[in-house]
Every structure is written in structure tokens, then in C-alpha cells.
Structure 1
Amino acid sequence: MASKTLARWATNLTASSLPPPVRRAAIRSLYNYIGCAIGGSKHPAVIKAHDALQPFFGPATSTLYGSSGTVKADAQHAALLNGIASHVHDYDDTHLATIIHPTGPVASAILAYAEYKDAISGSDVLCALTAGIEASCKIGLAVWPEHYDIGWHITSSTGSIGAAVGVGKLMKLSEDQMAHAIGLAAVQVVGLREMFGSDTKSFHPGRAAQSGLLAALLAEKGYTSSSEALEAKRGWANVVAGGGTPRLEHYLSELGRKWEIESNAFKPFPCGIVCHPAIDGCIQLHHELRKQGLSPTDVQKVEARVHPLVIELTSKRTPKDGLEGKFSVFHGCAVALLYGKAGPAQYSDEIVCDSTVITIRDKVDATADQALSADETYLIVHLTDGSTLNKHIRHAIGSLEVPMSDEQLTEKFIDQATLVLGKDAARASNYAWKIGESGNVAEELRML
């Protein structure tokens, strides 16, 4: 009954029933998403996708973010392209228990649809976003970690279902229609970890958004699917569980009691979240070096003890471009030591190939330590004079224990949006914070 359980809960959820902390988490998730979508909008991967697909655009109803509201596409293509843009810098939110980036697929779909309808309130958008994120994360938990371990990109393989639930809420689908939308989304499984480091990784959440929107549109018109799409013997969970035993009923029974959106974290650095502790530590070490009148050129070697996933996911020793740099803990540590920060500019192709960065990168070594938590690291910097600096990061910035404040999220938004919108970045930030209060979200989106 898992599919019907999810459909029933999502259908009955109302904006007024969201607890204040949940609503606040939805506002922050949506705000962070918009900043990431604007910041990634001029990336070559987005431009290539736009240029390839533009001849096939339908009626221009939905904004492509980063265009100052002047460039639009049909809702399906807007969901795809904004979804790609939101993930291309690896700067989006993370549900830490599953490492799903849940907002990208859901928000890309519901905002494209909301603008197409031109009559949907911010409160309804926050409700739909919450429903979609809860759906993605609950089913993700049900197949974690086996699903991820065999090679699925869990953000997108759950994201199409989350997007369908989110759009279905805006459409006010019936319970039966919502169940069919879930089934239609479940067959559109997308995302392979093999694609990490290439343009296709960011295609995953974009395609999930597009697929979820398509699923809801079909279900609205009576298109049917299995009523047990998630739980059947040959349904979504058993097919993608990687040999594990899906725990759908357990996690779906928590709907409305334990809110996964409250466990959604935000990235201070635009790269794989697993190497954030090492970057955080190296930024702190950068400042310690400066206090002592030293510089990264005085560093002989850097030893990092990290969680095993860091080695598994971010061990590219010699990244060739910015995309590959996002999967190199060595590059992250190098720019953090050299510049004292690791923002989008530090993951450009130019910086990844910079000779000074490469010199420091080659001095960084990382070893896996099973005893460490996912957001913990130990660093030892060996200096040329024989002395050492030590740093233990128990919880990295951006974790649930050390969350980013609203002020830090605003700084992050403006930092990346300025690269695209220039002086209009602060204005876009103000509009993005207020979308949840809007009587018609389409009007706010056009101002972006």
C-alpha cells in the first residue's frame, strides 16, 4: 500500500497544516535553489542544452533563471534547463541522511508549472515543495544505501517521483490521480553515478524535474499506471534497491510526523558535500598561516584523514576542468589553503588548471578512516621549517550541527548571482526570500 499511502498523504497535505519550522525550512530550501539556478544558468552545460533544445521549445510561459526574466521556454523545457542549472555547480541543498539534493528536481518542476498557470500562491508552492521533498527523501531512505552503492544517482532516481508529487499538489490531483502520477514518475528512473564529473550529472535532476512534470500532466488527464508502482515485486523499490530489502512502509509511516525537509542542509562550497569538512579545515588553516606570517608556499605536505566516502566520491587526483575539480578533495583543500575560500570562482576551469594550485594540490594526501563521521576530518599541515599545524573538524559548516544562517545563505546567493546578474543580484535575493508570501508566484518569478 506504499504508493497509496504516499498519494493519500500528499493529497491531504495543506499549507495551513505545515508546522512553522517546516515552512521555514521550505522557504530556505526554495531560496537556496533559486540562487543556485541563477548562479549556474550561464554554465557551458546549461548553454549547450539550451542551444540544442531551443528549436523545439513550445509556448514561452516559464522563465529561465539568470535571464533577467526576458528569456522563457515552455514549462517542460524550463523545468529541464533550470534543473540542470540548479545542480551544475554542485552547490544545491543536501538531505544528509541520503545525500539526496531534493529541491532541484521538485522546485524546477513546480515553479515552471506555477508560472505556466499564472495563478498559484507562494503558500501553495511551499506546500507542494514540502510534499515533493518529503516524497523524494522518504523513498530514498527506504532503499538507502544499497540503491546508491550499486550506482544510482539517488537525487534524480527519487527526484522524478518527488517532482510528480509536487506538481500534483499544485494541480489538486485526486488521490487516485496522484497514485498514477507516482507510478508514471517511477518508470522514468534516471541517473547513474558513472556520469559524475561530466555534463550529464547535472542533466539528471533537470530530467527528473521534466519527467515528474510530465507524469503529473498525464495523470491529470486520466493516464493510468500501476497502483502499486513503488512496492510491487517488480515495482520501483524492489527493482532499484540493489539487493537490499526496501523499507517503504516504515519510512512512509513517518509522513507528517518526522519531516525530512528539516534535515535539509545547505552547501557553503560548490562541490561534493563529503569533502566539505576538509575544505572547512583548510580554510581555517589558511587563516592560521596568515596569523603566523606564513603562506601556503611554506607548506610541505598536507595529511587528511577523512570519511571513506570522500575517497570513494572525490578522489580525482588530477582534475582536468572545473567539473572534475568538484570531485577532487585534493583540489578543494588546495584552493582553501591558497585563497581561504572555495566558492564558484575557485572551481573554474582556469583555477583548476592553475600551476600554483596544482603545486599545492600535489602536496595533499587523503586517507580513509572508518571511525570518522561523514562531516568530520583530521588535518595535519607539515611546514618547511619542520613544524606542524593540526586541525580537527568535528562538524563541518553547513552540517545540521553547524548550519548556515540566513545571512550566510544570502551572502552565498548574492555571491553566485552577481556573476550572472551583476548589480541586480541583491534585488533578486530580496524577491527570492519573499516568494512564499506572494499571492501569485508567477509575478515574483518574472522579477527574477
Structure 2
Amino acid sequence: MATKSLASWATSLEASSLPSSVKQAAIRSLYNYIGCAIGGSNHATVTKAHDALSPFFGKAASTLFGHQGGLKADAQHAALLNGIASHVHDYDDTMLATIIHPTGPVASALTAYAEYKGGVSGPELLCALTAGIEASCKIGLAVWPEHYDIGWHITSSTGGIGAAVAVGKLMHLSEEQMAHAIGIAAVQVVGLREMFGSDTKSFHPGRAAQSGLLAALLAEKGYTSSPQALEAKRGWANVVAGGGTPKLQKYLAELGEKWEIEANAFKPFPCGIVCHPAIDGCIQLHHEMEAKSIRAEVITKVEAKVHPLVIELTSKRMPKDGLEAKFSVFHGAAVGLLYGKAGPAQYGDKVVQDETVTAIRDKVNATADGRLAADETCLTIYCSDGSTLEKHIKHAVGSLEVPMSDAQLTEKFVDQAALVLGENAQIASEAAWAIGEARDVAEVLREL
């Protein structure tokens, strides 16, 4: 009875019962999401989607982030477009155990509906957000890794259900209605790994947000689905896991006991997270080379031993643009060595196509080593004078062992938001940090 169990837990969850550590994790997750959504709001991928769909917008009820209240859409389209914006730079949060980016689909649906509804307090929003993230992560764990190995993009294939749970929580759905919302979301499964490196990758969490919102709206009006939508033989888990061995009951039994949101990690670099150890190491090597007055031009070869997933997911040797470069460990290593940073600017199309970057990128070689952890790498730089530099990253920055601090999250938020909002980025940052205490979150959202 996995569907019923999830619905029962979600409808009974109370903001006052959330542990302080869970509340803090929810605040950090929402804050990071808002920064990513603002930072991605003017990306060409978002602009193309907006231009295609704006003729079909309904009542302008929900803010499109990055325009300080100057651009709105109906809640359904706002959920879609903010979801795309939040993921387009690949800068969002990550549940490392499954590589789910949980907040984007959930928060995009939730904020769009909360502004449309009005009168939603910060604590209510954080409680609903937590419910949605826990739902996404628990069902994701239940089908991992079979689901991902088949080729599903697990962020969106779980995110629609999480979004339905979160919005349903704000709607105060009954347990029966919530179960139906879960089922309606489950049939709208979306996201293929084949799309990585294209506009459609970020469409996945946007569509999941939109689908989850739709599911909750339908369920509220009595629309029905199977009461065993998740666990049935031909239900969500068995179908998306390819007949694998879903462990739904095991993980759903941990709801309210083990909080997955507390293990949410945040990206210091806007690209596939498996690249981060190599980038972290190359940035550190950049500073060492700088201190020793070693120029990048003397590098003849860079050898990187990496976890096998790095080769599987980020082996684009010659990325043609910024979207493809996010799946190129070679590009991440190159900009880390050249610039000592790897932010949104270093993943711009012009940088990806720059001859200096290309020259270093061509010298990077990555080899899979199954003995390494996912957040670990071993780097060796060979120079023309025969000397070498080495760096072993045991845990990359942004991992659970080396987490980003609130100060680092703030710097990340302001850096990317400033590319869109200019000097108002700091004001947006302060508002986003405080949204969990708002009497009506709509008032805050309209300023972002």
C-alpha cells in the first residue's frame, strides 16, 4: 500500500513538527533554487520556451523569476518556465545517492501555486516543500539504479510526483485525494537521459512541475486514479524500473524518521555533478601553478582518474556550446586550470569555443577507476620541462563531507543573479533567505 502510505504521511505532516535541522535544510534548498531560477531566467533555452508559449498564457497570476515582478504567467506556465530556468545551468541541488535534483520540480510548482492562491505563509511553504522533496527522494531510492540505468532522467520522473504531493499539501487535500494526485502525476512520467546536452534536458523538471500541479488540481476536483498507482504490477515503480526490484515499502517506511532533505547537496559548479571532483582539483592546481608562476601554455598533458560515472555521463570531448559543455569533464578541467573558476560565465558559448580553452581541453585525458568514490579524483599535470603536478581530491567541494556553507551559497546566489538583476541581486538574496518567515510568500515572490 505504498501509494496510500505516502498520501497518509504527506497529509498528516505539520510544519510545527518538523525538526529544526529539516527546516534549515528546506530553507537552504529553497534559497538555492530561487538563485538558480533567477540565474537561468534569461538563458536562450528559457527565452525560446517563453516566446513559443506566451500567446497561450492565461491569467497573469504567478511570477516568472528574474524579472522582479515585471513578468508573470498563469500558474501552469510559470511552473514550467521557472522549472526550466532552475535547471538550465545545471547548478541546482542534488541528492547524491540517486543524482536527483529534487527542489526544482517541487518548488517550481509550489511557488507558482502559492502566489496564485495567496495567503500562504513561509512555514506552510517549507512544510509542503519538505513533503514534496521527501516523496521524490524516497520513491527515487526505491527504483535506483535500475530506473536511471534504463535511461530515465530521475529528477523529472520522480519530480512530478513530488510536485503533486507538495501542491496537494498546500491545497489541504484529503488522504484519498492525495493518493489520486500521486496517481495522476505518476502517469505523466517524463525525462530521458538521451536529452542531456540539449534544451530538452531542462524542459524535464519544468514539465514535471507543471504535471504535478495539474495532478493536484484535478484531484482536488474529484478526478480519480488507481489507489495502487505506485506499487501495482503495472504501476509506476515496476514500469519505470523495467521490472526491477522496487523497494517502495522499505523507503516509505522511513518517512518522518530519516529525512532525505538533510542530505541535499549544493553545486559549486554549473555542470554535471560527477565532474566536480576534477574541476575542484584543477582549480586548486591553477592556484598552485599561479603561485609558482607556471603558465598554462607549458601543460602538455592532464591525466585524470575518475569514477566510472564521469566517463558515462560527461565524456563529450568536443562540446559545441555551453549546454554540451556541462557534460564534458574535459571542458570543466580546462576552465578550472585556465581561470581558477568554473561558474556560469565559464560555460558560456564563447568560452566553450575559445581557442585557448580548446587547446587545454584537448590535452585532458580521463580514465575510469572503479576504486574511486563518486566525489573523488586523482589528477596529474605534465609540463614541457618534464615536471609534474599532482592533486588527489578525496571529497569534492559541495559533497556531504565538504558542504557549501551559507556564505558560499549566498556568494553563488548573488554571482549568478547579478548577471540578470545587476545590483539588485543582493536585495533578492536577502528576500530569498527570509521567505521561510514570510506572512504571505506571494509578496516575496513578486520581487524576484
TM range (shorter): over 0.9
Equivalent position of 2:392 in the other structure = 392
Task: Quote how far apart the aligned CAs of 1:387 are.
Answer: 0.8
Equivalent position of 1:426 in the other structure = 426
Q: Give the Cα–Cα distance (whole angstroms) in 2 for the partners of residues 252 and 415 of structure 1.
A: 38
Residue type of the alignment partner of 2:264: N
In the comparison of the two structures, how many residue pairs are matched? 448
Residue type of the alignment partner of 1:436: G
Residue type of the alignment partner of 2:21: P
Equivalent position of 1:21 in the other structure = 21
Q: Give the Cα–Cα distance (whole angstroms) in 2 for the partners of residues 243 and 298 of structure 1.
A: 53
Matched residue of 1:396: which SS? coil
Q: Give the Cα–Cα distance (whole angstroms) in 2 for the partners of residues 117 and 264 of structure 1.
A: 28
Equivalent position of 1:377 in the other structure = 377
Q: For each residue in 1:238-270, what CA deviation from the matched residue of structure 2 results, as whole angstroms up to 9, or x when unmatched? A: 000123200000000000000000010000000
Check if 1:242 corresponds to 2:242: yes
**What 5-or-longer segments of structure 2 have no aligned partner?**
none
Q: Give the Cα–Cα distance (whole angstroms) in 1 for the partners of residues 237 and 29 of structure 2.
A: 26
Matched residue of 1:303: which SS? strand
Equivalent position of 2:292 in the other structure = 292
Q: Give the Cα–Cα distance (whole angstroms) in 2 for the partners of residues 337 and 302 of structure 1.
A: 10
Residue type of the alignment partner of 1:179: A
Residue type of the alignment partner of 1:315: S
Equivalent position of 1:212 in the other structure = 212
Task: Quote how far apart the aligned CAs of 1:442 are.
Answer: 0.1
Check if 1:222 corresponds to 2:222: yes
Residue type of the alignment partner of 1:171: M
Residue type of the alignment partner of 1:332: G
Matched residue of 2:301: which SS? strand
Residue type of the alignment partner of 2:421: L
Matched residue of 2:446: which SS? helix
Residue type of the alignment partner of 2:423: K
| TM-score calculated relative to the size of structure 2 | 1.00
Task: Quote how far apart the aligned CAs of 1:295 are.
Answer: 1.7
Equivalent position of 1:344 in the other structure = 344
Q: Give the Cα–Cα distance (whole angstroms) in 2 for the partners of residues 21 and 83 of structure 1.
A: 26
Equivalent position of 1:169 in the other structure = 169
Task: Quote how far apart the aligned CAs of 1:118 are.
Answer: 1.1
Residue type of the alignment partner of 2:276: H
Task: Quote how far apart the aligned CAs of 1:447 are.
Answer: 1.5
Q: For each residue in 1:381-418, what CA deviation from the matched residue of structure 2 results, as whole angstroms up to 9, or x when unmatched? A: 01111011110000000000000000000000000000
Summarize the alignment of residues 215-364 of structure 1 with structure 2, pairs less than 5 Å apart. 215-364=215-364
Q: Give the Cα–Cα distance (whole angstroms) in 1 for the partners of residues 118 and 384 of structure 2.
A: 63
**What 5-or-longer segments of structure 1 have no aligned partner?**
none
Q: Give the Cα–Cα distance (whole angstroms) in 2 for the partners of residues 21 and 229 of structure 1.
A: 32
Q: For each residue in 1:128-147, what CA deviation from the matched residue of structure 2 results, as whole angstroms up to 9, or x when unmatched? A: 00000000000000000010
Residue type of the alignment partner of 1:234: R
User: Runs of at least 4 residues of structure 1 off by over 6 A?
Assistant: none
Equivalent position of 2:99 in the other structure = 99
Q: Give the Cα–Cα distance (whole angstroms) in 2 for the partners of residues 164 and 71 of structure 1.
A: 25
Matched residue of 1:365: which SS? strand
Task: Quote how far apart the aligned CAs of 1:25 are.
Answer: 0.2
Q: Give the Cα–Cα distance (whole angstroms) in 1 for the partners of residues 69 and 359 of structure 2.
A: 42
Task: Quote how far apart the aligned CAs of 1:195 are.
Answer: 0.2
Q: Give the Cα–Cα distance (whole angstroms) in 2 for the partners of residues 131 and 306 of structure 1.
A: 35
Q: Give the Cα–Cα distance (whole angstroms) in 1 for the partners of residues 42 and 437 of structure 2.
A: 28
CA RMSD of aligned residues (A): 0.4
Equivalent position of 2:401 in the other structure = 401
Q: Give the Cα–Cα distance (whole angstroms) in 2 for the partners of residues 252 and 34 of structure 1.
A: 28
Q: Give the Cα–Cα distance (whole angstroms) in 1 for the partners of residues 99 and 228 of structure 2.
A: 26
Task: Quote how far apart the aligned CAs of 1:170 are.
Answer: 0.3
Q: Give the Cα–Cα distance (whole angstroms) in 1 for the partners of residues 296 and 200 of structure 2.
A: 35
Task: Quote how far apart the aligned CAs of 1:326 are.
Answer: 0.2
Matched residue of 2:341: which SS? coil
Matched residue of 2:390: which SS? strand
Q: Give the Cα–Cα distance (whole angstroms) in 1 for the partners of residues 428 and 67 of structure 2.
A: 12
Equivalent position of 1:62 in the other structure = 62
Q: For each residue in 1:217-237, what CA deviation from the matched residue of structure 2 results, as whole angstroms up to 9, or x when unmatched? A: 000000000000000000000
| TM-score calculated relative to the size of structure 1 | 1.00
Summarize the alignment of residues 194-205 of structure 1 with structure 2, pairs less than 5 Å apart. 194-205=194-205
Matched residue of 1:447: which SS? coil
Task: Quote how far apart the aligned CAs of 1:348 are.
Answer: 0.3
Q: Give the Cα–Cα distance (whole angstroms) in 1 for the partners of residues 59 and 180 of structure 2.
A: 27
Equivalent position of 2:183 in the other structure = 183
Identity %: 79
Matched residue of 1:386: which SS? coil
Residue type of the alignment partner of 1:39: G
Q: Give the Cα–Cα distance (whole angstroms) in 1 for the partners of residues 286 and 301 of structure 2.
A: 14
Q: Give the Cα–Cα distance (whole angstroms) in 2 for the partners of residues 186 and 81 of structure 1.
A: 21
Q: Give the Cα–Cα distance (whole angstroms) in 1 for the partners of residues 387 and 101 of structure 2.
A: 41
Equivalent position of 2:110 in the other structure = 110
Summarize the alignment of residues 66-81 of structure 1 with structure 2, pairs less than 5 Å apart. 66-81=66-81
Equivalent position of 2:53 in the other structure = 53
Matched residue of 2:416: which SS? helix
Q: Give the Cα–Cα distance (whole angstroms) in 2 for the partners of residues 140 and 80 of structure 1.
A: 21
Matched residue of 2:300: which SS? strand
Task: Quote how far apart the aligned CAs of 1:39 are.
Answer: 0.2
